[in-house]
Structure 1
């Protein structure tokens, strides 16, 4: 990486970019987030606040919260794309001079040493994440530790361990990660794609450092996952998503949706890696063998067996794949 600075025996990158996706931000939570970014002990950055509509309101809030701080720049758009494509859009504005990139939600709270703790790890890894506390918007600690876990490449393909607002990564990742792969599905997640792409290019790491509070409230687009089995809640959610994405809440629609949520999104990521990276890349071969259009069942079930055994794939996720597999078998003929 360019212009490294010595820090505790590691190399620490200098200038970077923070991409913060904003959509109708809550004024008080937005203030907490922007002020926490402004107070970072590693202060050599440009924060690109990408407004997914409502440009005037976002610009006014940024001027009010961090007056005169030229590190904050608002990029506004009239067309609302949703968080996945809004992050993608924001990443296209990252300057080429940046050595690293961090992602930010609009309603969390970064500890002041977050960047100082995570950035040195980019000397050895393409993408890095820390851990977070899960806190309600009234300050109650819901979980003291998110417990993200380092997983093998294929286990990560199945179950994402990375949360966007916790990520930092080398700017060079964008050369292969953009544009984001497309799939009209709720499983289309920017953090999952970035982590998978980074792992295919080198290595990723989750470090056991608390670096922020992940604030849960009624308007979270993607909240912290509910742990454990919740059959009734899961069925109701499946009906709701089937109605939205498949046009009806029938059993057949739910099965198609479940296949999309499991095999479909992984197939999209595997195909994107195969198109963008050399065919000699061993992880591309692993991904397409387990999740590509003509995947083999043997390697796939081995992935699930290893993930269930070491705890990097949960039982609810495995059950989702089991249901989606019914459609996969029919699709394959």
Structure 2
């Protein structure tokens, strides 16, 4: 592992987050050098500069370390954490977060191929005074559009929204690369729960932990480009039913080893319900131990997902879909997972 002495942070008063020291956790895996360098430079050019950037590399870390050196020079804020084994993006982010220094009051997550506008951190940090996690929106564009310059009028926009606990569990609204959160969220979130399934997302878990620590504030301000290209591990997709079915069989081969009725049912359950049940159970266990102040809405929703009662769960999902906060495809995934669980019971 490549390591360096972390810089001594400058801390302002404890009453607000503007100007405070924090950490940017970036997960890298075989990055395209031009897009990676552009993202690193956008982080380096933030108007708020009091941070350390921890880059966790999922294999081939020496190559990535050389890229960081070429892009950032001798900037002591940037540190490469190199590993030979590959864990996937969920646990690669976990490795970066485990390295966050105790003195960091906030954490921002970064993908390897986006582009942050210079004011991103400075805009979001003051919002942490009133929320455990805050996120903005992003312009969704291909690389060639993002590289044109500062014209932010073209391209589509993300549509993240503030929702209740039940809808957040069903349909994640927290995109890791858009958000920033308080230290206490990290303390609750580590270690990450783990499930061998495509539905396992670090930002979904962190979002629930943020609700337990206070609240989430999603602002309608565009603060970065969310770049979509052929190599995205996770993207801003709008899957059709046929695409979802094809992906299910692809995931069966990847996570279950072979295609059989049992393995197909296993993936359907894990994707639709299993991951959400695991998150709910894990968070309830930690909330009991840490004695967090949890809203009745969050507590009741966690209890329903932790020990799924069919009609109560169906009611939550249908209400979320009718309210426009749970997509029909996500609702279908959860309901299918519920059906498979009932058949297997």
Q: By how many angstroms is 1:11 displaced? A: 5.0
Q: Does 1:55 align with 2:61?
A: yes
Q: Select the residue among 213, 219, 225 that pairs with 2:231.
A: 219
Q: Does 1:244 align with 2:258?
A: no
In the alignment, is the contact (CA less than 8 A) between 1:17 and 1:48 conserved in 2?
Answer: yes
Q: What is the TM-score when the length of structure 2 is the normalising length?
A: 0.89
Give the Cα–Cα distance (whole angstroms) in 2 for the partners of residues 238 and 249 of structure 1: 10
Give the Cα–Cα distance (whole angstroms) in 2 for the partners of residues 147 and 48 of structure 1: 28
Q: Does 1:317 align with 2:330?
A: yes
Q: Does 1:291 align with 2:305?
A: yes
Q: Select the residue among 94, 105, 128 that pairs with 2:100.
A: 94
Cα displacement string for residues 55-80 of structure 1 (whole angstroms, at most 9, x for unaligned residues): 21111111111112111111111121
Give the Cα–Cα distance (whole angstroms) in 2 for the partners of residues 80 and 192 of structure 1: 21
Structure 1: which 5+ residue stretches go unaligned? Answer: none
In the alignment, is the contact (CA less than 8 A) between 1:37 and 1:110 conserved in 2?
Answer: yes
Q: By how many angstroms is 1:325 displaced? A: 2.0
Aligned residues: 325
Q: How do residues 1-333 of structure 1 correspond to structure 2 at under 5 angstroms?
A: 3-4=12-13, 12-139=18-145, 143-226=155-238, 230-278=240-288, 281=294, 282=296, 285-292=299-306, 294-332=307-345
Is 185-194 or 167-176 further displaced after alignment?
167-176
Consecutive aligned runs of 4 or more in structure 1 exceeding 6 Å deviation: none
In the alignment, is the contact (CA less than 8 A) between 1:308 and 1:314 conserved in 2?
Answer: yes
Give the Cα–Cα distance (whole angstroms) in 1 for the partners of residues 186 and 39 of structure 2: 25
Structure 2: which 5+ residue stretches go unaligned? Answer: 1-10, 147-152
Give the Cα–Cα distance (whole angstroms) in 2 for the partners of residues 209 and 158 of structure 1: 24
Q: Secondary structure at the match of 1:134?
A: strand
Q: Secondary structure at the match of 2:108?
A: strand
Give the Cα–Cα distance (whole angstroms) in 1 for the partners of residues 85 and 343 of structure 2: 39
Q: Secondary structure at the match of 1:139?
A: helix
Q: CA RMSD in A?
A: 2.0
Give the Cα–Cα distance (whole angstroms) in 2 for the partners of residues 267 and 144 of structure 1: 33
In the alignment, is the contact (CA less than 8 A) between 2:19 and 2:50 conserved in 1?
Answer: no
Q: What is the TM-score when the length of structure 1 is the normalising length?
A: 0.92
